[in-house]
Amino acid sequence: MGFKLAIIFFALLIASSIQRASAQSFKAQQLKYSRVKNALAEKEALIKEMFRRKKLPYPPTKIFIRIFKRERIVEVWAGRSRESQLEMLKAYNFCATSGSLGPKRRMGDGQIPEGFYYIDRFNPVSNFHLSLGVNYPNQSDRTLGVKGRLGGDIFIHGDCVTIGCVPITDDGIKELYLIAVEARSSGRSRIPVHIFPSRFDRNGMKQLESYSLNNETLRNFWMNLKEGYDFFERHRRLPTITVDQRGRYIVRG
């Protein structure tokens, strides 16, 4: 039994070492690109000070991105550890937008998606300076959207133009991209991104109720998103989110 436990321990140790090496090589790979290297030279001291003022560890081990379409805000949250509550680090403003309130359901609709996503791509040679890809379409989108015509390539990026993406200027994306690279390099394989039509506070709900007055499907979808929003507002930690056969999000603690 002791020999078997030793083998298991050794295997876990090797796996952990491989994971750390892979994460470190990710940052090194990103720094081969001039835009990332230049962003680091320009922004590293500012980002470190940002974390220091909030008394948050740097490099970050846990970050979360929350987006509100009506308010045109991208919030970045970070935690002291993987298990701790998250704290607001900084908010960036959209400098352009497209579409209207409501989810993205087909290619070419110009909509910014709404739902629960994660960062799935880092593009250091983007046409919009730097960009972070969002994993649209997710399982809910594939269930509820137009089959075979959902589109894709949704990014948080630089510049100030967009058709369904979230631009936060070149200056803003330099910071957010570097923070995301550091989180990825610390072993955070998935960076959660929650995209909401609006804050689900009293004023936001009033606006959304008026907007969806004659659209029960849209209203039900937003109430489903509100479950995830409310969980985070209560606990300052992320819920576990899955999708059922109808495309509905299931939110659990």
Report, as residue numbers or ranges, the catalytic residues: 157, 165
Which one, of 91, 43, 31, 42, lies nearest residue 64 by Cα? Answer: 91
* Inter-residue contact 239 to 232 (CB < 8 Å): yes
> And the tokens for 249?
């999000």
DSSP annotation of 85 reads P
Does residue 57 have a cis peptide bond before it, meaning omega lies within 30 degrees of 0?
no
The β-bridge relationship of strands 166-167 and 240-243 is unpaired
Which one, of 59, 49, 66, lies nearest residue 24 by Cα? Answer: 59
The β-bridge relationship of strands 166-167 and 154-157 is parallel
Provide CB contacts within 8 A for 109, sequence distance 6+: 99, 151, 164
The helix or strand, by DSSP H or E, that contains position 211, with its residue range, turns out to be helix 202-211
> And the tokens for 134?
């969002």
* 93 vs 121: CA distance, rounded Å: 21
Q: Taking the CA of residue 4 as centre, how many other CA atoms within 13 Å lie in the half-sphere pointing to its CB?
A: 1
* 62 vs 68: CA distance, rounded Å: 20
